Amino acid sequence: MIEYYVKRKNENEFTKLKDYAKKCWINVINPTDEEIELLVDKFKLSKDNLIDGLDIYENSRFEIEDKKIYIFLTTPTERIQGEYDSSFLIIYSNEFFMTLSKYPLEVIDKLLSLKSKSELSFSRQLLKVLYIISRTFELSVRNIIRETKKNKKDLNKLNDKDIAKLIREEDRLNGYISSFGAITQTYNRVLREKKINFFKKDEGIIEDLIIDLNETLILCKDVLKTISNMRDYYSTKLSNDLNKKVTLLTVFTIFLTIPTLIAGIYGMNIVLPLQSNLNIFSILGIFVIGIWVLMFFILKKFKII
């Protein structure tokens, strides 16, 4: 799908066009082979870079080819099953601004929803994308921190569902951390590239975004340590609970063995003490209870139960 948007002065929203117009934003989502060939022929683009841009696992990077700038970026997303982030491609040119992705990502929707009465500026459009990505990473990590703190308040109430959720968040954070290095390098390269005409104020904003990404990276690592400690505590707690249950069952088995042993002995067809006594059952019962009490105090003394 290929969409064309333009934004004129004093208009708050983007206007969708039926066809390409110079100085417009071209939004491409999951293009067909025919649409890719159209983009290559019409806009003189690199087919290999377009195909790489559709790969959701592509690393963030910055390339210049035939006076066009290809910026591969990674953004958090909830729209791809089993994935926490996705790569997409920005193509910066003097004649158009293009975004290309395999899926309709949130960053594109947010970009479309932003309201401003200024005309479409490609450098400002790129700045907005960088800002949205940085903020989305930060908000995602802070949501994980919030959920982690909730579980941390009472570790004894953690259950299997909570641990499974923590493991998913841990996987998400590890994915973010592996992406941050390349993303930060790409932001730095965008900032240094002289072909992108940023205002002085915009350059300062990008520098702040780079600092924010580094701070978010530190947060990710701190939360990972917390989650790892919580998992270790849960594993230790499960192990201790299991040991207590095994110990209790073992003691219970021993307690049952004593009357079983005595009953087995007195069930033999041999001469035994007190077997002719009419109160033999009561005597043996008191004897068993006495042994139980003695065992209980011994086990209690050595803190076995």
Q: Give the residue with greater pLDDT, 191 vs 279.
A: 191
Q: What letters, b where the CB count within 10 A reaches 16 and e where it falls short, cover 61-100?
A: bbeeeeebbbbbbbbbbeeeeeebbbbbbbbbbeebbbbb
pLDDT at residue 70, rounded to an integer: 93
Give how many domains the chain has, as a whole number.
Answer: 2
Q: Is residue 13 part of a domain?
A: yes
Instruction: Report the pLDDT averaged over residues 11-39.
Output: 87
Output the six-digit token pair for 160.
């299997």
Residue 227 and residue 255 in one domain: no
Quickly state the pLDDT bin for 172 (edges 50, 70, 90): confident
Strand positions, DSSP E, the chain: 2-6, 15-17, 24-29, 61-65, 68-76, 85-92, 96-101
Q: Is residue 188 part of a domain?
A: yes
Q: How many percent of the chain have pLDDT more than 90?
A: 14
Give the C-alpha distances (Å, rounded to integers) separating 7 from 22, 26, 116, 122, 283. 12, 12, 9, 11, 100
Helix 122-153 crosses helix 106-113 at what angle (to 10 degrees)? Answer: 120
Q: How many percent of the chain have pLDDT more than 70?
A: 93
- What is the chain's Cα-based Rg? 34
Residue 172 and residue 206 in one domain: yes
- The pair phi, psi for residue 207, each rounded to 5°, is -60, -40
Q: Is residue 244 part of a domain?
A: no
pLDDT at residue 117, rounded to an integer: 62
Quickly state the pLDDT bin for 101 (edges 50, 70, 90): very high
Instruction: Enumerate helices (H) and strands (E) in the chain, giving the number of each.
Output: 7, 7
Quickly state the pLDDT bin for 130 (edges 50, 70, 90): very high
Any idea which residue has 């002719």 for tokens? Answer: 276
Q: Is residue 243 part of a domain?
A: no
Containing structural domain, residue 266:
249-301
| Range from 129-133, 201-205, 235-239 carrying the lowest mean pLDDT | 235-239
pLDDT at residue 251, rounded to an integer: 79
Instruction: Report the pLDDT averaged over residues 190-198.
Output: 83
Residue 223 and residue 265 in one domain: no
Q: Is residue 83 part of a domain?
A: yes
Residue 10 and residue 103 in one domain: yes
Q: Is residue 269 part of a domain?
A: yes
pLDDT at residue 153, rounded to an integer: 63
Residue 260 and residue 177 in one domain: no
Give the C-alpha distances (Å, rounded to integers) separating 104 from 31, 110, 175, 243, 265. 11, 11, 20, 51, 79
Q: Is residue 164 part of a domain?
A: yes
Residue 151 and residue 283 in one domain: no
Q: How far is C-alpha 298 from the chain's CA centre?
A: 51
pLDDT at residue 143, rounded to an integer: 87
Single residue among 190, 210, 238 that ends a domain in this structure: 238
Residue 139 and residue 281 in one domain: no
pLDDT at residue 118, rounded to an integer: 65
Residue 268 and residue 220 in one domain: no
Q: 91 has which bridge partners? A: 70, 98
Single residue among 218, 238, 258 that ends a domain in this structure: 238
Single residue among 184, 218, 238 that ends a domain in this structure: 238
The pLDDT of residue 168 is above 80:
yes
Q: Give the residue with greater pLDDT, 175 vs 274.
A: 175
CA dist 111 and 92 (Å) reads 16
* 55-68 pLDDT, tens digit each: 999 899 998 888 88
Quickly state the pLDDT bin for 54 (edges 50, 70, 90): very high
* Dihedral angle of Cα 11, 12, 16, 20, to the nearest 10 degrees: 60
Q: Is residue 28 part of a domain?
A: yes
117 DSSP assignment? S
CA dist 217 and 33 (Å) reads 38
Residue 155 and residue 284 in one domain: no
Q: Which amino acid is at 192?
A: R
Residue 21 and residue 107 in one domain: yes
